[in-house]
A and B are shown apart, each in its own frame.
Chain A
Amino acid sequence: MSPRTSVLRRLSRAFIAHAASVFPPSRSQWAEAMKRELDHIESDLEATKWAAGCVIASYLEGGRMMNQSFGSIVKKPSAFLPLSMSITALVLLGGAYIFALANGHGGLVRQPDEGAITHLWQLLMAGQLPVLVFFAIKWLPRAPRQTLYVFALQLGAALAAMAPVYFLHL
């Protein structure tokens, strides 16, 4: 075996090992199948091409399964409820701002006596906290990574809802 071919064979084994680490646990049998198949390929160059393809397969499969899990978690009421509450709070503030502009008030101003919009906004933002806690307790142990992605979305939506309060000094 020439040094070149030996390097290729080692590279292909490294590719396969990487692919096996990327595959979801439920696909471990398929990762093993690809690994075993490698030993039946005589040409080192062919083996390397094969292994590189297996890496692509593992990325495709890993991505597909992650999207499925993320998609199914984000549809849970405890995941989308805080999101929709933040968005409602943002829309509420935006609507009030546009309404104030249209009536010639020059936008929203901070008032000592908080109005209905302010109370609604506070209710929406505070009301999502228990839902978030419930979501974390239920889903973090089951699917930590996907739950964190949903958390990131929820945090983004909450920050977006709070941004006008900060920037408009309300």
Chain B
Amino acid sequence: MPMARKTNSSAQTRQLLGVMLQQPRNWQYGYELSKQTGLKSGTLYPLLMRLSDQGLLDSEWQGPERPGKPPRHAYKLTPSGLALACEMGPQETAVRRKLADATT
């Protein structure tokens, strides 16, 4: 079992959490997250793995949206991931509002 690092304060982590928080209930894919955050895959995936190790991120395989395409690995913040994202999000107020909308 990989050991999880405890720090989640990097700008890239904030960026990723901020983007994932915009659609907290939706499963999101790696490539789309990369486009939305502007993070390259070499930065994005180590972040996703770390967040997943720390129990901040859920992942699951989802069937293809279009026929002929392979299943995709999708990601969504866990409740603790959501809480962390709320604490460190750049637009905290907006994020809290979105979260409140999502949970009601």
Contacts and interface: CB of A to CB of B under 8 A. Distances in A.
Given A60-B46, A61-B49, A65-B2, A54 B73 contact: no
Name the interface size band of chain A: 20 to 34
A7 B22 CA distance: 37
Given A33-B73, A37-B72, A68-B3, A50 B34 contact: yes
A55 B73 contact: no
A40 B69 contact: yes
Contact of B72 (A29, A30, A36, A56): A36
Given A36-B71, A40-B69, A65-B2, A30 B31 contact: no
Contact of A40 (B41, B48, B72): B72
Interface string A11-27: 00000000000001011
B100 interface: no
A37 B73 contact: yes
A33 B49 CA distance: 11
A60 B42 contact: yes
30 contacts: A26-B1, A30-B45, A30-B48, A30-B73, A32-B73, A33-B59, A33-B73, A34-B41, A36-B70, A37-B29, A39-B69, A39-B70, A40-B29, A40-B31, A40-B72, A49-B40, A49-B41, A50-B34, A51-B41, A53-B40, A53-B42, A54-B41, A54-B45, A55-B42, A57-B42, A57-B44, A60-B46, A61-B45, A65-B2, A68-B3
Interface of B: 1-3, 29-31, 34, 40-46, 48-49, 59, 69-73
